[in-house]
Amino acid sequence: MSMPFYVSPEQVMRDKADYARTGIARGRSVVVMQYRDGIAFVAENPSRALHKISEIYDRIGFAAVGKYNEFESLRVAGVRLADLRGYSYDRRDVTVRSLANAYAQTLGTIFTETPKPYEVEIVVAEAGTTTETDQIYRLSFDGSVADEHGFVAMGGQSDVVQEILTQRWRSSMDLNETLALAVDALSAASATTTNADEEPDVLLAPAGLETAVLDRTRTRRLFRRLSVAEVTELLAESDGA
């Protein structure tokens, strides 16, 4: 009689984590950054149909990297949860913290109880009335949550993006400066630049970017997508500054 094959729980968890990280690293990078009037979301995404950046609720945005069908199911679940809570209680009861907790429980359950983990990493962000009250939460495939400040880089060559943002990001930046920094960082990652001090040879074109903002100067629905023409104009303003 043959003995059953045994794998320790620790090894199973390590294998699942390695599998998920490999899948996430294959995705193109996404940047989420605070700026003076809100929070900007910038992703390298030439597709006009498959969005990596979306609105969840009045003041809450969503960004993701990894397998599209998996993070899209999470986005839809988040929209439904927010709508149900806002309808049942009050719109002010819909907060990014409660949404992040719900996502953490879902991802943690999937990671521990199913054979295949989700190959996703997501950010949910809420624009407050001031920069100090903005909230950004980063959630990993295993359900772990990180409370981020300033900026987040996910997917692809995120270490390259992170290093550039660390050197150059400022909370007082305007939107045009923020977009210019995001394009520089994503271009460096796209070119797989290993030295963050080097400028990329070719910057990503606005048509290859997906861009949106949570604009705190708006009255109710703060989420707004930026068109290719708007991004082009803002980057031109930054170049001329």
Q: Would you give per-residue pLDDT tens digits along the chain (241 residues)?
A: 566 677 788 888 999 999 999 999 998 999 999 999 999 999 999 888 899 999 999 999 999 999 999 999 999 999 999 999 999 999 889 999 999 999 999 999 999 999 999 999 999 999 999 999 999 999 999 999 999 999 999 988 889 999 999 999 998 999 999 999 999 999 988 775 444 455 555 788 999 999 999 999 998 899 999 999 999 999 998 775 5
- Residue 149, SS3 per DSSP: coil
- Looking at residue 191, its pLDDT comes to 72
Which contacts (CB < 8 Å, 24+ apart) does range 25-28 have?
25/155, 25/156, 26/156, 27/65, 27/66, 27/155, 27/156, 28/65, 28/155, 28/156, 28/190
- Looking at residue 194, its pLDDT comes to 43
Query: What structural domains and CATH numbers belong to the chain?
Result: 28-240 (3.60.20.10)
User: Which residue has 């809570």 as its token pair?
Assistant: 85
Q: Give which of 166, 167, 184, 138 is closest to 24, Cα–Cα.
A: 138
- Looking at residue 3, its pLDDT comes to 60
Q: Give which of 238, 228, 223, 195 is closest to 82, Cα–Cα.
A: 223
- Looking at residue 237, its pLDDT comes to 80
- For residue 218, the 8-state DSSP code is S
Question: How much is the pTM?
Answer: 0.91
